[in-house]
Amino acid sequence: MPVRQKPVEEQVVVITGASSGIGLATAHLFAERGVKGLVLASRSEEDLRKVADDLSRNGTRAIAVPADVSKREDLERIARTAIETFGGFDTWVNDAAVAMYGALDKVPIEDQRQLFDVNYWGVVNGSLIAADHLRHRGGTIINVGSVLSERTMMLQAPYSASKHAVKAFTDGLRMELENQGAPVSVTLIKPSSIDTPYVEHARNYLDKEPAVPPPTYDPHLVAKAIVFAAGHKRRELTIGFGGWVIGAMGKVAPRMVDKAMEWTGYSAQTTSERERPEMRDNLYRSRRDGDMYSSLQGEPRKTSFLLEAQIHPFFTAALIAGLGAAFAALMIAPRGRNQHRRQDRSYRRPIPPYQPQPVTRRTGNGHDKRSFGPGHVSQRSGYEGRPQPRH
């Protein structure tokens, strides 16, 4: 059965992790597109209700559902609220996640388990609940992963491991739903370094404030990818060439990338800037929310040509083909002109066929006569001039 996706304007959308960063930017962009309804979930009840009220004043019906995605019963309550309020939902976005920085021998196992409860099991339970609802009506499941699902980042190994697991689960879910004939699109979103409160919310075991490796991208780019996937079937969408190329190089030259990360891993992921302490460490409980961006200096990139190429693949392919043809024409034209010039020179100076040329020989009496070489018998006329006297 083919995938069924409604136009975005007719959809009811569920977003977890909707009170800050990517989730908040996504909620705003869906509201700008005029969706039928938004079901926003987060642990930060007060900040979440402010977001829902703000979006509702602008014409979108948005409701807040305080929930902890590490608990399946909370995720079931989100789905139940959406069904009771709107009659169902059409897109489910699993965005909620937590992070931590530190060497593996410094991070307690219980912290790593909690991270997996949120980042992995929250996605698993949310996806399965959504799939059960969408199996017959059609719709979209969108899981927010990371480019770190392709390449582990040192000092963020537990987070990277959870995103590897999210990618594997998402691929498996997609195949099984397709094999069952369910009209559901399953998309994995893979952001690079995004300028959100992610770093300030992270639990930190380093001796400096954490940061994300440059270049950083605007969270609205990730929101754009999510909104696009809600209405268009896509397997994966990656935001940011900087993160994508590290993953690609990691497959081609893994040891070289290992060494590069070892040399730069600490300096690229730490900063001397002071971050907001009221946001620090939301691993076990919510902290201050409500912001899309971090407090770190620097302007994030507002465009991602890699994302545009994935959103418009046919146009991109045509553009690349056109550029390739133009380049080939530029390379071939000089050769063609040179070859034409060589051909012109050959026609201007043709090589004549061989013909024997007469040579001049001196006869015994000192007079010059024309001869065609040895053995030639001349055809003499009756008179060739005054007879020579004999001596």
179: how many CB neighbours lie within 10 A of its CB? 8
Q: Cβ(277)–Cβ(295) under 8 Å?
A: no
- Based on its alpha-carbon atoms, the radius of gyration of the chain, rounded to whole angstroms, reads 38
Residue 173, both tokens: 């879910």
Residue 224 contacts by C-beta under 8 Å, 6 or more apart in sequence? 29, 307
Phi, psi at 140, each rounded to 5°: -140, 135
For the CA atoms of 238, 242, 243, 244, what is the dihedral angle to 10 degrees?
50
Pairing label, strands 270-271, 368-371: unpaired
232: how many CB neighbours lie within 10 A of its CB? 15
Distances (CA, A) of 106 to 34, 112, 117: 47, 11, 19
CA angle 293, 109, 267 (to 5 degrees): 45
Q: Cβ(219)–Cβ(192) under 8 Å?
A: no
Residue 82, both tokens: 């959406």
Preceding omega of 215 cis (within 30 degrees of 0) = yes
Indicate which residues carry an active-site annotation. Answer: 159
CA distance 249 to 316: 22
Residue 82 contacts by C-beta under 8 Å, 6 or more apart in sequence? 12, 14, 37, 39, 88, 89
CA distance 244 to 29: 24
Question: Helices marked H in 204-359 — which ranges?
Answer: 219-231, 241-252, 254-268, 305-311, 313-348
CA distance 184 to 91: 10
